[in-house]
Amino acid sequence: MNNYFEYLIQSFICLACLYSLYWLLLRKETFFVLNRIYLVSSVLLSVLIPLFKISFDSSQTGLFYSAMLETVTYSGQSISRTINNSVPTINYISVIYFTGVIVFLIRFVFQIFQIRYFIKKYGVSLYKGTKVIYIGKKYSTFSFFNIIFINNENIADEKLDKIIAHENIHVCQKHSIDVIFLEILCIFQWFNPFVWFYKHSIKEVHEYLADDGVLSQGYNKVNYQNLLFSLITGMRLNEITNNFNHSLIKKRFIMMTKSKSAHRAKFKLLLVLPLIVMLIFAFSVTTSKSVTAQNKNLKKENVKTEKKKSPRLVKVSETEKDQNQEEVFLVVEKPPKYPGGESAKQSFFKENLKYPKAAKEKGIQGTVYVTFVVENDGSITNIQLLRGVDPLLDNEAIRVMKSMPKWEPGTQRGKKVRVQVNLPIKFALSKNKEQSNKE
């Protein structure tokens, strides 16, 4: 679930960045086809970029990074997480989020059945080869895929031709596909204001395209604008239709009279390329490192720690050093997971970790950083001390790590891989115990 919410956040950021670029540079331009392509493709990129991961070997760059797990805090009496109430908070967020998803899903299904009801109730007629349904005056004229819904059967043929010409642009250019796609995205990202901005903007562009298409067929601009004024009646049926009567009437008139954007204005679209590259590097690039390079670095860290602390530190076994040389990932699409989740991991440490008596008596406390590799079969290997506090605490942390059960292995591109992770284990004495030790 955490991975899903992480994906939503990354998609949120992509949508925000790409829409901001459109709003600042492109929304007032009259190359409507390119604007439509940009809006639809930028939404697709925002959905896909967080899903795909690009891995590269960082062993030559000196980069060292591993997934840092949540700190385990042990006081000798109870265990808790450093992020207080994180699990309950996530549960509350999940309930709120999925409640919203269900509500908007029901809304979407209702709108589909509403259109089906109109088709069955009024029936489909043909007007000069176009599928038309005449509905009551209560609703404004609209189109849905290849069917045009007219709100008055007694419209003069001259006006009807212009209405049909307008709605046929929506039909021929398949604008309903864009609208349905944005509606589905709104179901899963209902909390994201930029999804709704996209939905509004794509409908704007659809109307500009339809108006431009009608005028390009030779219809008089003034007469067409008068027709638009005469049709400002009736309510919109729902959000998944392309309505002839739209609240954008003033903007549409401005766009009709505005001169076409110069070709050089199209070069603004080139600015999106560096932004897309930045987003890909931010959310899709993962790093990996060979086992050999990792072990050398970690071994040096252990040597330094051993010199400072004590020769009694637990060393990595020869069996672990001889693991096969498959690459170890530092960041993966799906990280390794303790069987049963975070609460089960906390319970394991609570039951198995023992605060050394000598450390309690001396008032020793601090955070021990342990690094290890979760193999592709879930076993734990290469357990090493990354940063210690005192041999008493260091040895206890590694002892418990060696007794851990198999994990759920991490995956990269659907394949189970070896993943290195770091785990902070915090030994903390209660204030009363610490004060009594001082006394």
Poorest-pLDDT segment among 100-109, 113-122, 236-245: 236-245
C-beta separation of 53 from 285 below 8 A:
yes
C-beta separation of 376 from 416 below 8 A:
yes
Q: Which residues pair with 223 in a beta bridge?
A: none
Which pLDDT score is estimated for 89?
57
Place 192 in a pLDDT band, splitting at 50, 70 and 90.
Answer: very high
Place 58 in a pLDDT band, splitting at 50, 70 and 90.
Answer: very low
Helix or strand (DSSP H, E) at 73: strand 72-74
Which pLDDT score is estimated for 409?
92
Which pLDDT score is estimated for 399?
92
Q: How buried is 19 (Cβ within 10 angstroms: 0-12 exposed, 13-18 middle, 19+ buried)? A: buried
Which pLDDT score is estimated for 100?
95
State pLDDT tens for residues 248-306.
Answer: 777 888 888 887 877 777 788 788 888 888 888 777 665 444 433 333 333 333 333 33
State pLDDT tens for residues 79-106.
Answer: 344 334 444 555 788 899 999 999 999 9
Angle between helices 249-257 and 193-216 (to 10 degrees): 50
| Percent of the chain scoring above 70 in pLDDT | 76
The tally of CA atoms less than 13 A away on the side-chain side of residue 409 is 19
What is the SS3 assignment for 252?
helix
Which pLDDT score is estimated for 246?
53
Place 112 in a pLDDT band, splitting at 50, 70 and 90.
Answer: very high
Domain locations in the chain? Answer: 2-53+87-282, 67-83+290-438
Which pLDDT score is estimated for 328?
85
Place 153 in a pLDDT band, splitting at 50, 70 and 90.
Answer: low
Which pLDDT score is estimated for 316?
39
Is the pLDDT higher at 220 or at 177? 177
Place 16 in a pLDDT band, splitting at 50, 70 and 90.
Answer: very high
Which pLDDT score is estimated for 256?
85
C-beta separation of 47 from 281 below 8 A:
no
Euclidean distance between CA atoms 147 and 181, whole angstroms: 18
Q: Is pLDDT of 161 > 60?
A: yes
C-beta separation of 51 from 7 below 8 A:
yes
Those residues whose C-beta lies under 8 Å from the C-beta of residue 78, and which sit 6 or more positions away, are 350
C-beta separation of 179 from 203 below 8 A:
yes
Give CA separation, 247 vs 33, 98, 141, 417, in Å: 21, 31, 13, 54
C-beta separation of 23 from 204 below 8 A:
no
Q: Is pLDDT of 244 > 80?
A: no
**Conformational region of residue 382, where left means phi above 0, alpha means psi within -120 to 50, and beta covers everything else:** left
Q: Return mean pLDDT, the chain.
A: 78
What's 67-83+290-438's CATH class?
A: alpha beta
Those residues whose C-beta lies under 8 Å from the C-beta of residue 127, and which sit 6 or more positions away, are 160, 164
C-beta separation of 75 from 367 below 8 A:
no
Is the pLDDT higher at 150 or at 284? 150
State pLDDT tens for residues 44-54.
Answer: 999 998 887 66
Is the pLDDT higher at 234 or at 137? 137
Query: What residue ranges in 307-414 does DSSP mark as E strands?
Result: 328-329, 366-374, 380-387, 410-412
| Nearest Cα residue to 316 out of 272, 373, 271, 361 | 373
Poorest-pLDDT segment among 5-19, 98-112, 234-248, 262-276: 234-248
Give mean pLDDT, residues 386-403: 89
Give mean pLDDT, residues 64-78: 54
Euclidean distance between CA atoms 22 and 2, whole angstroms: 30
Which pLDDT score is estimated for 233?
59
Poorest-pLDDT segment among 198-207, 260-269, 338-347, 418-427: 260-269
Pairing of strands 366-374, 242-243: unpaired
Angle between helices 175-188 and 86-122 (to 10 degrees): 150
